[in-house]
């Protein structure tokens, strides 16, 4: 039986490329593709893929939060993070969310295939090209950092923060999450209080700094 894969990437030009590459793999098959985190969560629930290749910087719900939700619903799924790596903290957040592997977008397709084989064997995989970043982040980590920032927010607050940082209004977010606008405003006020921020501009700067959105 072939390994069923869900591929999540917001640049749709890569979807056909990945389908083409995996067509040559008799033991692997792409079941579906998604271009945002919320769609990825839904497809993971509907299709129960064996492996999810998850880009981190995706809209609606970033790859880290999407991974956290997916793994909470189905702990058996193997998620492999995929990104143009900028810092070790982002890599470690992906693993804390429940990912079993991490590869750089600059890796060869053969390495991605190898990563899938490794996580399917019950092991964890970290691309050699990002190992130094993770080690540097670990060595420079301070205890205070572990209780700061995103760790203070609930899963729903992180999701709303992401959408606010994308420039969406309370009404837009309420419609997308099927909540009342007043509920969104209450969550937003709670986020700002927990993070000690005073404006939407500060929220956006925080989201960029924490890797929730890209410039």
Q: Which domains does the chain have, with CATH numbers?
A: 3-140 (3.40.50.2300), 144-209 (1.10.10.10)
pLDDT at 11: 82
- State pLDDT tens for residues 108-128: 899 999 999 999 999 999 988
- State pLDDT tens for residues 19-40: 889 888 889 999 999 999 999 9
Checking if the pLDDT of 106 tops 70, the result is yes
Residue 198: pLDDT band with limits 50, 70, 90: confident
Q: What is the DSSP-derived secondary structure letter of residue 2?
A: P
Question: Which of 57, 21, 51 lies closest to 166, judged by CA?
Answer: 57
Mean pLDDT of the chain: 86
Average pLDDT of span 186-191: 92
150 or 73, greater pLDDT:
73
Least confident range of 74-83, 150-159, 179-188 = 150-159
SS3 category, 4: strand
pLDDT at 215: 53
Checking if the pLDDT of 43 tops 80, the result is yes
Question: Which of 50, 59, 36, 51 lies closest to 81, judged by CA?
Answer: 51
Least confident range of 8-12, 71-75, 137-141, 202-206 = 137-141
pLDDT at 147: 42
pLDDT at 143: 44
Say what percent of the chain tops pLDDT 90.
Answer: 46
- State pLDDT tens for residues 135-182: 776 666 544 444 457 778 888 888 898 888 888 899 999 998 999 999
Query: Residues 6 or more apart from 133 whose CB is under 8 A from it?
Result: 85, 87, 88, 91
Query: Residues 6 or more apart from 41 whose CB is under 8 A from it?
Result: 61, 66, 69, 70, 73
Residue 52: pLDDT band with limits 50, 70, 90: very high
């Amino acid at each position: 039986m072939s390994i069923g894969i869900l591929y999540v990437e917001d640049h749709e030009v890569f979807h056909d490329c990945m389908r083409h590459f995996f067509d040559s793999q008799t033991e692997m098959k792409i079941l579906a593709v998604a271009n945002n985190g919320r769609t990825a969560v839904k497809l993971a629930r509907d299709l129960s893929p064996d492996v999810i290749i998850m880009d981190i910087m995706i809209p609606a719900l970033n790859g880290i939060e999407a991974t956290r939700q997916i793994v909470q619903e189905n702990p058996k799924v193997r998620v492999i993070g995929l990104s143009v790596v900028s810092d070790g903290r982002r890599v470690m957040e992906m693993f804390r969310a429940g990912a079993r592997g991490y590869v750089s977008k600059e890796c060869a397709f053969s390495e991605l295939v190898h990563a899938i084989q490794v996580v399917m064997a019950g092991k964890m995989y970290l691309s050699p090209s990002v190992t130094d970043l993770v080690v540097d982040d670990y060595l420079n980590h301070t205890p205070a950092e572990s209780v700061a920032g995103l760790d203070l927010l609930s899963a729903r607050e992180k999701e709303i923060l992401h959408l606010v940082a994308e420039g969406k209004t309370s009404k837009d977010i309420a419609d997308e999450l099927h909540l009342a606008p007043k509920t969104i405003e209450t969550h937003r006020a709670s986020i700002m209080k927990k993070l000690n921020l005073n404006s939407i501009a500060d929220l956006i700067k925080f989201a960029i700094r924490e890797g929730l959105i890209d410039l």
